[in-house]
Amino acid sequence: MVAAMDTPALAAGFKRVSDPEVEKQGMIFYADGDWLELKADFHPQVNSEAVFAYLAHRHIVEGLDQGRIEALVDLARSGTPVSMETIARGRPPRFGKDGRLEFLIDRNPKKVEIKDAQGNVSYRDLNMIHEVRKEGKILRVIAPVPAENGVSVQGMSILASGGDRARLALGKNVIEQDGIVHATVDGHVEFVDPLISVSEVFVVSGDVDLSTGNLRFVGNITVEGNVMDGFTLEAGGSIEIKGVATACTLTAQGDIIVSQGVHGQGKSQIRCGGEFSAGFVNDADIQAHQGVALHKEIVRTSLRTMGKVVVKNGEIRGGEVDAFAGVEVKELGSPMGTPTTVIVGVNHDVGETIAREQQGLEKLQADLKKLADAIAPYLKNKLLLAKASEGQKRAVLQVTNKLKEGQERVKAIEAKFQELELQRYDKGKEIKVSGGILPNVSVQIGKKKRKFTDANPRPGVVCYDKASFDVVFAKI
């Protein structure tokens, strides 16, 4: 009898599901928890009709292998033990997977040591900004994997949970197209789950120091604190520093604003394509294309701009201020007589153009001289030219024509020089002083220069006087 035989050890997760009356017929059945798989033991007294009758009674319809069952029954009846053999297998459920975000930039910036060409490590370059260009790819939205319900061996559905879409909210300056999030502007990627956005301003909440490193950004940079000695800020837009800029380097395509001021220590270099403004400037090197506005003073500073320099409530003491459009200042010069130079009405952009054209002219003249030297023997000796071959004569003629063309180009360049020289100097620019001029101040308006050795403690305008053909100080 079956009851007298040993029962094999159950496979993990399976339980005995047949009743004793069935087992007396030489068959024992086991199922896992979800009835995804049905196993059987067959003993010699088993027969196929009884097996299929029981399976039909238990509604076993999915994944039933009738041929295998008959073969196993025959094997058991021949005396070979059949234990824990799979006779039916359902279809397991396939659970969905949540969607996810695949970042196409480094989402978590790390402070990285940067080596120069010589292999030296710079601890000031830390790669803190994740810059993205307009239309640049930021991340890919991976769609969720859908679920697929399973089926038990009894034909019952086994539910599978589906995957959810990745959490994502589009913020400013981003769009999603075909599962890719793009930037609509140049800027810095910001991700605060689930919000993704691109900011045109990179904000430093404190100081620019070893904790931030040097900053290079395609947009605008705002520093809530100070910029410490030796650090560099480069912006494709503008730079705003709400504290103090020390012996640092600032470069911007737009404006630069230093709310408190600049302590340059002779090492600060500032360059901007727009306007530079600050509370004060001390001992710095500044070039601002569109103008300079200071609230207090400029001290021992080299400053150049194509615009106007305005220090209405302060002084220019020491250094050199070069402003094509003019200067407005309260007091010009130093009580200690520190040499102070102010230049207006000199267009250095035109001067640089002239310098480049001059280099081109010198090269052209050198090339023409070589050509002239090459044919000089033929031009000086008519007999030599007469005896020359036809090929040599054609070559002399070609060189002669090139010389004529070159000489015309020289005349055109020299004429252009004359036009540029007229644009280079403007004697109509002025220096307005509301408080006076102190000794040892040198002034240049256009080409005209003058040095003030005595004080003029009253408001006035330094300008070019057409009557005297000189630089004068006119009272207001």
Q: Domain extents for the chain?
A: 2-89, 100-148+157-198, 201-348, 349-424, 431-475
Mean pLDDT of 76-101: 93
Average pLDDT over residues 214-220: 91
For residue 263, pLDDT over 80 is answered with yes
* DSSP structure class, residue 346: B
In 3D space, the residue among 408, 404, 412, 403 whose CA is nearest the CA of residue 373 turns out to be: 403
- Residue 162's pLDDT is 84
Q: Among 70, 34, 75, 76, which Cα is nearest to 55's?
A: 70
DSSP per position, 169-193: EE-TTEEEETTEEEESSSEEEEEET
Q: Of 104-113, 194-203, 241-250, give the lowest mean pLDDT range.
A: 104-113
The number of angstroms, rounded, from the C-alpha of 437 to the middle of its chain's C-alpha atoms is 47
Task: Give dist(CA 84, CA 178) in Å, integer.
Answer: 51
CA–CA separation, 462 and 154 (whole Å): 105
Structure tokens at 468: 């005297």
- What pLDDT does residue 125 have? 59
At the top level of CATH, which class does the domain 100-148+157-198 belong to? mainly beta
Report the C-alpha gap between 396 and 14 in whole angstroms.
107
Q: Of 90, 87, 58, 84, which is closest to residue 71 (Cα–Cα)?
A: 87
Average pLDDT over residues 18-29: 93
Extract long-range pairs of 311-315: CB within 8 Å, 24+ residues apart: 312/434, 314/280, 315/435
pLDDT of the residue at 117: 52
Residue 157 is inside which H or E element, if any?
A: strand 157-158
Residue with tokens 């220019």: 316
Q: By CB neighbour count within 10 A (0-12 exposed, 13-18 middle, 19+ buried), where does 80 fall?
A: exposed
* pLDDT in the model for residue 131: 84
pLDDT of residue 424: 87
Q: What is the mean pLDDT of residues 67-83?
A: 94
Per-residue pLDDT, averaged over 73-97, amounts to 94
Cα–Cα distance, 287 to 276 (Å, whole number): 8
| Residue-wise pLDDT tens digits, 321-356 | 999 999 999 999 999 999 999 999 999 888 888 888
pLDDT reported for residue 128: 65
Residues 270-306: pLDDT tens digits? 999 999 999 999 999 999 999 999 999 999 999 999 9
Report the chain's terminal Cα–Cα distance, integer Å.
130
Cis, peptide link before residue 339, omega less than 30° from 0: no
pLDDT digits (tens, 9 = 90+) for 89-121: 999 999 999 999 999 987 665 444 444 555 554
What's the confidence (pLDDT) of residue 473? 87
414 pLDDT band, cuts 50/70/90, is confident
Mean pLDDT over 157-180 rounds to: 92
Q: What is the pLDDT of residue 225?
A: 96
pLDDT for 50-61, tens place per residue? 999 999 999 999
